[in-house]
Structures are given as C-alpha cells and as structure tokens.
C-alpha cells in the first residue's frame, strides 16, 4: 500500500475530520454524486477536496472511485473554516457488463 506524505496541516485536518465524520452502518453503494462547500481560513489553502474524498472511504462509501460527479465550491471564512458535504446515489454511469453466457448454456436454456 502506497502512502503519500501529508503536510502537518493535512494531518491535523485528517484527525479533526475523522473525529467528526460518522461511520454509516451500511456504506453507500454504486455511483455517487458529491457536493462540497469548503470554507477556507485564508486565500492560500492547503486543503484539497481529494483529501476529503479519501477520508470518507470506509466511513461513508467503500471507495472514492464511486464518486462520479463532483461539485466543489470555494468559500472564504477566516473565522469559521469548515466543509459542508452532501452525497447521494445516482444512476450508474457505466453499468456493469452482464456475464457472458456460453453458446452451450444458451442452447440448454432454449
């Protein structure tokens, strides 16, 4: 498993985020759409939305690759930096292929 080196700010954000983010009893499945409103403390933020997506793995959904649609909005609020997150399931963008049935199986069922 590879691990990227995170800045001290990112590590601090990760700790705070994980303290506040619940773990759903049943993880969301299928393709997802996410809306992020990130309120930064300054105009030079270190936080990237991909960190938030990574942190929700295993708590909200199994894998951040499930997120097919992203809406990310940048805000400035030096007094109250925060992230507001909305996630919902969407119809599958690339439906899984049906398993191939051999000719012999097709003839058996016909």
Structural domains counted in the chain: 1
Residue 1's pLDDT band, with cuts at 50, 70 and 90, is very low
Residue 94's pLDDT band, with cuts at 50, 70 and 90, is low
Phi, psi of 74 (to 5 degrees): -100, 130
Q: Which CATH number fits the domain that encloses residue 34?
A: 3.30.1330.70
Domain assignment present for residue 108? The answer is no
Q: Indicate the pTM of the whole model.
A: 0.74
Q: Which residues share a beta bridge with 38?
A: 74, 83
Domain assignment present for residue 41? The answer is yes
Do residues 96 and 60 make contact, with C-beta atoms less than 8 angstroms apart? no
Structure tokens at 24: 């759903």
* Domain around 87: 24-93
Q: What percent of the chain has pLDDT over 90?
A: 61
Domain assignment present for residue 68? The answer is yes
Each residue's pLDDT tens digit, 15-25? 999 999 999 99
């Amino acid at each position: 498993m590879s691990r990227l080196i995170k800045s001290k700010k990112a590590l601090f954000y990760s700790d705070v985020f994980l303290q506040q983010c619940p773990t759903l009893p049943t993880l969301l499945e299928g393709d997802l759409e996410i809306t992020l409103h990130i309120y930064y403390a300054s105009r030079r933020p270190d936080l990237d939305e991909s960190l938030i997506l990574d942190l929700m793995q295993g708590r909200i959904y199994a894998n951040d690759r499930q997120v097919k649609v992203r809406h990310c909005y940048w805000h400035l609020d030096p007094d109250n930096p925060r992230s507001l997150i909305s996630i919902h399931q969407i119809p599958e963008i690339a439906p899984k292929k049906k398993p191939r049935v051999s000719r012999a199986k097709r003839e058996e069922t016909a």
